[in-house]
Structure 1
Amino acid sequence: MAADRSSSAATTGTPAGFEDVPAMVKESRLVPPPRPASGRLGLRTLDDVLALRERAAADPGAYWAEVASELRWSSGWPPTSPLTGSLAEGFSYFPGATGNVSVNCVDRWAEADPDRLAVHWVGEDGTERSWTYEELRATTARFAQALTDLGVGRGDVVAIFLPNLLETFAAVHACFRIGALYNIVFSGFSPQALADRIVDTGAKVVVTCDQTWRRGRPLPLKATVDQVLDELPSVRHVVVVRRSGLAEVPMRPGRDVFFDELLAQTTSEAAPVPLEANEPGFLIYTSGTTAKPKGLVHSGMGFLVAAYHNCKLSLDLAPAERYWCTADCGWLTFPIFEIVGALAMGASCLAVEGALDYPTPARFYELCERFEATKVFTAPTLVRMLARAGDRWAAGHDLSRLELLALVGEPLDAPTWWWAQEHLGHGQLEINNTYGQSETGSAWASSVAGVTPAKPGSCGMALPGHRYEILDDEGRPVRRGQVGYLTLTQPFPGLFRGIWGDPERYRTQYFSRFGPDRYDSADAALEDEDGHLWVVGRVDGVINVAAHRLSTMEMESALLGAPGVAEAAVVGVPHPEKGQVPLAFVTQAADAPAPLDPDQLAERLVQAIGPIARPQAVLVVSTMPRTRSGKIVRRLLQELATTGTATGDTSGLEDPEVLSVLAEELSRRS
């Protein structure tokens, strides 16, 4: 990518096999922010942003040092050399400088305004609790001391097997405080998935709770831990939060202890440990198809700088502003945009347990209204769920305070963008669709809140401090409007630093296709004439039909524009002559005017894209396989369609039972 714009600066002609600019890109238009810039960012126009981006590209070390200088450092600041090393062989930002994440997210706000609301928590059963910044600081410091007393030290791993709770915030920041590495394990994982991650990390302590609720059903987390503890020799202690107050919780003397009792017997508070800027801070695992999940290693202070930068530019949070990130804490979006990023901005956060459409889809609207949220960070799938349920659930709920809706997680279609604009914001809502990965530790493609225009369907532009190129199969930059491989060309503080215990996998998976100076995202993308980035899906999700590469996002967007379609997922299936053909799955909205007609939907694809996009079939199904964060798992749909069963990794599914439901529905059609 050229320093000031994008990969389009180099034009090598149309790469073989790539189609013309997709219709969804041609038809999208720029939408200016509905409100003027707040003034907090010092940026007022797109030209301001582009100038800052060019300056950052010329000297990324200096730019990121300028961002980091807004945070609190213990020693070694300013650094002599802000950036050293390279992408594949290892890089360091602010080498030698030390600081602590918990100090920046908790202590400094507790000192400035101890009674400010830090986190308000709402359980699925209606239970509510709140902590001020001083209460969060005191609990964090005491739990950090308790972990130290249990034998946890700098560099040790703590597994956090919790849902969204106040104690989750304290557990994460207690680890940051003493230099332990935390690994949040999604609370919906099976016992085996939990065991696999603990075995890989060698965690000394597991922090869990008695049970939590999801869609009205109790999930006994402590019992899940107990099923595998005999297989986990590294675990010395289990700390149990009393979420539900169960009368009987099996506790093994000497190993298991309740969180509240542990704090009661801990009279001192741990002092924050100054940690070098590139020292590992936490691990986050990503699920694969059949391969072992990868433990991504993120630095502590580097991640803080990136998350702070992301929340500042993408959300423009003000201190004490009412803000809600709807993600589960097991999804990296939650640490980026709430536990670390939002607290680093001094925001007042909402944390919610359970499903946002249970017991009815009105729950989302009720929570926004009662908390008086001005900004919400969520996933496109939640907005599609709200649209699928129908407009009636929003009736009577005042969302007039809601100014910004930010999105990440999977490609956003234009129909969902416009639905949110009309039904959630009455035309006055700023919608910021962003893009990032677990590996990047931030949503690095984004609008700048209140400053840059959005484009329904796009991911905005690269934020200052980030550079990318979109390449063809030969590693050449493609021209604007052409789909190619999305790569990153320079390191930034939030980018992960390796794979836990497997440095060779780090190099081969991310730096083999295009060499050591290009991080391979494995995502397919294009850049349009306005410099906006469109991530159209995974590289293996771009369907190759008779040597023509078709974007699954474009096909799904066309289907979602049909009346009555709530969700759409398109996968490629083998074809004896064309190599692959599309196969579409759709669900019907609750307020659909009539039953969906598969033939009409297939014809809609042909009309929108061309005869090459005619699907093998359009299957109307009752449900989709989703992760807890709401993503539709398309590879499982592909497996079901081609083999009749799903054998890949299903540990991250919200409800694995949907696979048997779908398998039965598909078998009836065969």
Structure 2
Amino acid sequence: MSDSETLDHLLSSPLVPLRADWTVPERVEQLTELRNLGTDEYWEWVAAQQRWLAPWSTVRSGELGDFRYFSGGRINVADNCVDRWAEDPATADRVAIVWEGEPGDTRSVTYGELRDEVSALAAGLAQLGVQEGDLVGIYMPNLVEAFTAIHACNRLGAIYTVLFSGFGEEAVASRLQTARAKVVIVADAVYRRGKPIPLLQTLRAARPRIPTLLATVVVDRTGDSRPLEDGEHAYAEVVANGHGGLAPVPLDPNAPSFLIFTSGTESRPKGVVHSVGGFLLGTWANAHWQVGYEPGDEYWVAADVGWLTFPIQAVVGGLACGMTIACYEGALDTPTPARFYEICERHHVTKVLAAPTLWRMLRKFGDDLAAEHPLHLKLITMQGEPLDVDTFTWTTETFDAPVVNAYGQTETGSTWAYPVYGVEPIKAGSLGTAVPGHEFAILDDAGEPVPPGTKGNLVLTAPFPTLCRTVWDDAGRYTSAYFSRFPGAYATNDEAVLDPDGHLWVLGRVDDVINVAAHRISTMEIEGALTAHPAVVEAAVVGVPDPTKGTVPVAFVTLANGVDADVAREQLATHVVGEMGGYARPATIFVTPALPKTRTGKTMRRLLRDLVVHGKPTGDTSAMEDPAALDVVAGVVRAARDGSASGNGA
């Protein structure tokens, strides 16, 4: 299907009104009233839903690129997510977290119990020297301790950064070094596909490159953390030492709270900074509209804590709404393909969030398995990568539940376009409309608005509290990355189109960032890992479509003289996994003696992608310096498709 045919297909997608049994009347009335408010008036309403430790004076000052919200006020995220529910007799015994480990062990924590552990951990961290404004790294899988660690930092005003548990040594070292981490909270290991994957061991290897690190707090997940080394402290002992607790620290709502590294178009990841009050207010609103707490709900965010969606929807937004959050540690197809269904049944899950990758996987497992495990879901919501119509249709019909497709970015700190649960009509694959408090436009390359039905650059045209405030240690990069191309607007670097019903469709990246099963990866970062290997002279990485993961990285490498290609492929795949984690493993590594370049020496990656996806170039090749180089690469790709050893993937 050509690009124009694909676009016409999207724009003709029918609008499906909500069924009566999918509608929540009180939310319809509430949203109707709030859509009549101005942007700042709306955020004032959101602020009124939170508990403030000191009143604010001004809703907003400044514009995109330099703005503040609720100046003069003081607030604490942990106080709003944990304490206020623990202090209310009606909710103190409500379950906050239902956790299950991959081996089958479980734990349930009420809001009252969560408050006690968070308070004690915060006090214990303070005894280790953590103060307001210090940086704490959190390197662990989906555990209850991930919640307590984040909110202990929130409680005492420390800035936290969450590292994906799949990261290898180099990714861990570079991020914690850049962040200047003072303390790291780490699990000794994570269970994944039936075996423990060491995290503490990886951190120990990275530690010499983190000169600011004074202490490590070790969560004993597998019983394999002993003996501890110098500077390491058992999590249980830190909590016990802080048994007296620590009161929530009143914080400026614009102070930095959360640092998360996101891949950009450069090889160096950006440390995006979110604010205390901004992240709380935006994630509360996100969870409220996208999911909506209803009595008896159990909400499962089937994502990794290292993916920003989990802090947004579960750790901060979900708990700020008083929800019961389900949390699972391991692989969703382990030990059998029925694991997803069994978790939903065992814990009475009513609402689920996951990337479309999960639902493609379930579809692949078959209708018979789904029929053997009838679920009673009220809502399925997806985000992180494009949702195709076939997956939307199968999911809706199989589970008889509305499918809400949402859009946001690490930088926006929440999703901001989706059909509001229980209120708005749905269209297969679309992102609905912008929720209150957000304004956007679609522009051509000259910065002029384009009409509905025309593709263009998606930008945000007004500030909102959850939008990131800066790039860690690099304010200039913040300005250049997001506000230089379209002055007065935030550039998402995504291409989008509006259909005749006003629904938004995001079509893909306009830069070199790819999405692999909802994990954003810079192709240049993978290239950096490849070229760091002594066998590699040159490398280029592109993203290509994959029926399960959405997109996968494919690498083209030129090797040093005398290096065996077959041996190199295995070594390079292992090297990338060791440096960045398994999610970055190239699906295929093509070994080629040359790469197509422009006359200025830039590798023409779009042509490489064309060869893999279409078998031939589909765009302009006039800027190519040596057309013969493209012919060589095309021969390598054809050989791989024919099963020749010269092109076999990793």
**Alignment check: 8 A CA contact 1:212 1:220 kept:** yes
- Post-superposition offset of 1:389: 2.3
Which of 235, 252, 272 is the equivalent residue of 2:248?
272
State the secondary structure of the residue aligned to 2:397: helix
**Aligned residue in 1 for 2:92:** 114
State the secondary structure of the residue aligned to 1:461: coil
- Post-superposition offset of 1:361: 2.0
**Aligned residue in 1 for 2:29:** 43
One-letter amino acid of the counterpart of residue 307, structure 1: T
Gap regions ≥5 residues in structure 1: 1-16, 543-551, 554-570, 572-581, 588-623, 625-629
State the secondary structure of the residue aligned to 1:66: helix
**Aligned residue in 2 for 1:499:** 471
- Post-superposition offset of 1:393: 2.5
State the secondary structure of the residue aligned to 2:342: helix
One-letter amino acid of the counterpart of residue 132, structure 1: T
Which of 268, 288, 291 is the equivalent residue of 1:312?
288
**Alignment check: 8 A CA contact 1:21 1:482 kept:** no
One-letter amino acid of the counterpart of residue 18, structure 2: P
Aligned-partner Cα distance in 2 for 1:296–1:657? 24
Aligned-partner Cα distance in 1 for 2:264–2:412? 17
Structure 1 residue 69 corresponds to structure 2 residue 48: yes
One-letter amino acid of the counterpart of residue 52, structure 1: L
**Alignment check: 8 A CA contact 2:95 2:109 kept:** yes
Aligned-partner Cα distance in 1 for 2:124–2:283? 27
State the secondary structure of the residue aligned to 1:307: helix
Aligned-partner Cα distance in 2 for 1:215–1:417? 27
- Post-superposition offset of 1:37: 3.1
One-letter amino acid of the counterpart of residue 394, structure 2: W
Aligned-partner Cα distance in 2 for 1:106–1:505? 35
**Aligned residue in 1 for 2:133:** 155
**Aligned residue in 2 for 1:563:** none
Listed one character per residue, the Cα deviations across residues 588-628 of structure 1 (whole Å, up to 9, x for unaligned) are: xxxxxxxxxxxxxxxxxxxxxxxxxxxxxxxxxxxx7xxxx
Aligned-partner Cα distance in 2 for 1:263–1:430? 42
**Alignment check: 8 A CA contact 2:120 2:240 kept:** no
Listed one character per residue, the Cα deviations across residues 280-302 of structure 1 (whole Å, up to 9, x for unaligned) are: 11101112455210000000111
One-letter amino acid of the counterpart of residue 146, structure 1: G
- Post-superposition offset of 1:217: 2.7
- Post-superposition offset of 1:454: 0.7
State the secondary structure of the residue aligned to 2:508: strand
Aligned-partner Cα distance in 2 for 1:378–1:663? 35
**Aligned residue in 1 for 2:379:** 404
One-letter amino acid of the counterpart of residue 474, structure 2: D
Which of 531, 546, 557 is the equivalent residue of 2:502?
531
| Matched length | 557
Aligned-partner Cα distance in 1 for 2:543–2:184? 43
Structure 1 residue 413 corresponds to structure 2 residue 388: yes
**Aligned residue in 1 for 2:442:** 470
- Post-superposition offset of 1:585: 5.1
- Post-superposition offset of 1:114: 1.8
Which of 393, 401, 415 is the equivalent residue of 2:369?
393
Q: Structure 1 length as normaliser, TM-score? A: 0.79
- Post-superposition offset of 1:40: 4.3
Structure 1 residue 294 corresponds to structure 2 residue 222: no
- Relative distance call for 1:155 and 1:527 in structure 2 (3 A) is same
One-letter amino acid of the counterpart of residue 489, structure 2: R
Listed one character per residue, the Cα deviations across residues 235-258 of structure 1 (whole Å, up to 9, x for unaligned) are: 111000011112x534123x1111
Aligned-partner Cα distance in 1 for 2:587–2:83? 46
State the secondary structure of the residue aligned to 2:582: coil
- Post-superposition offset of 1:318: 2.3
- Post-superposition offset of 1:81: 2.0
Structure 1 residues 361-400: aligned runs within 5 Å? 361-399=337-375
- Post-superposition offset of 1:475: 0.6
**Alignment check: 8 A CA contact 2:170 2:580 kept:** no
State the secondary structure of the residue aligned to 2:369: helix
Aligned-partner Cα distance in 2 for 1:434–1:83? 26
Aligned-partner Cα distance in 1 for 2:239–2:545? 50
**Aligned residue in 2 for 1:22:** 7
**Alignment check: 8 A CA contact 2:356 2:383 kept:** yes
- Post-superposition offset of 1:320: 5.2
- Post-superposition offset of 1:33: 2.1
State the secondary structure of the residue aligned to 1:457: coil
One-letter amino acid of the counterpart of residue 534, structure 1: W
Which of 309, 317, 326 is the equivalent residue of 2:302?
326
**Alignment check: 8 A CA contact 2:545 2:551 kept:** no
Segments of 4+ moved more than 3 angstroms = 17-21, 582-587, 639-667
Asked which structure has the greater RCO (Cα within 8 Å, sep 6+), the reply is 1
Q: Relative to structure 2, which stretch is displaced further, 178-187 or 533-542?
A: 533-542
One-letter amino acid of the counterpart of residue 57, structure 2: T
State the secondary structure of the residue aligned to 1:252: coil
Which of 182, 189, 201 is the equivalent residue of 2:160?
182
User: What is the RMSD of the two structures over their aligned residues, measured on CA atoms?
Assistant: 2.8
**Aligned residue in 1 for 2:209:** 231
Structure 1 residue 654 corresponds to structure 2 residue 640: no
One-letter amino acid of the counterpart of residue 307, structure 2: W
**Aligned residue in 2 for 1:513:** 485
- Relative distance call for 1:279 and 1:656 in structure 2 (3 A) is closer
**Alignment check: 8 A CA contact 1:290 1:649 kept:** no
Structure 1 residue 210 corresponds to structure 2 residue 129: no
One-letter amino acid of the counterpart of residue 74, structure 1: L
**Aligned residue in 2 for 1:616:** none
- Post-superposition offset of 1:583: 10
Listed one character per residue, the Cα deviations across residues 206-228 of structure 1 (whole Å, up to 9, x for unaligned) are: 10011111112321111111112
One-letter amino acid of the counterpart of residue 420, structure 1: T
Q: Relative to structure 2, which stretch is displaced further, 259-268 or 130-139?
A: 259-268
Gap regions ≥5 residues in structure 2: 516-522, 524-541, 560-564, 593-635, 642-646
Aligned-partner Cα distance in 1 for 2:546–2:125? 48
State the secondary structure of the residue aligned to 1:206: strand
- Relative distance call for 1:453 and 1:243 in structure 2 (3 A) is same
**Aligned residue in 2 for 1:256:** 232
**Aligned residue in 1 for 2:616:** none
One-letter amino acid of the counterpart of residue 72, structure 1: R
Listed one character per residue, the Cα deviations across residues 627-669 of structure 1 (whole Å, up to 9, x for unaligned) are: xxx5634xx23x4499998999876553455546787995633
Structure 1 residue 145 corresponds to structure 2 residue 64: no
Which of 530, 547, 551 is the equivalent residue of 1:632?
551
- Relative distance call for 1:236 and 1:434 in structure 2 (3 A) is same
Q: Structure 2 length as normaliser, TM-score? A: 0.81
- Relative distance call for 1:271 and 1:663 in structure 2 (3 A) is farther
**Alignment check: 8 A CA contact 1:37 1:43 kept:** no
Listed one character per residue, the Cα deviations across residues 326-351 of structure 1 (whole Å, up to 9, x for unaligned) are: 11000000011000111111111110
**Aligned residue in 2 for 1:52:** 34
**Aligned residue in 2 for 1:196:** 174
**Aligned residue in 2 for 1:103:** 79
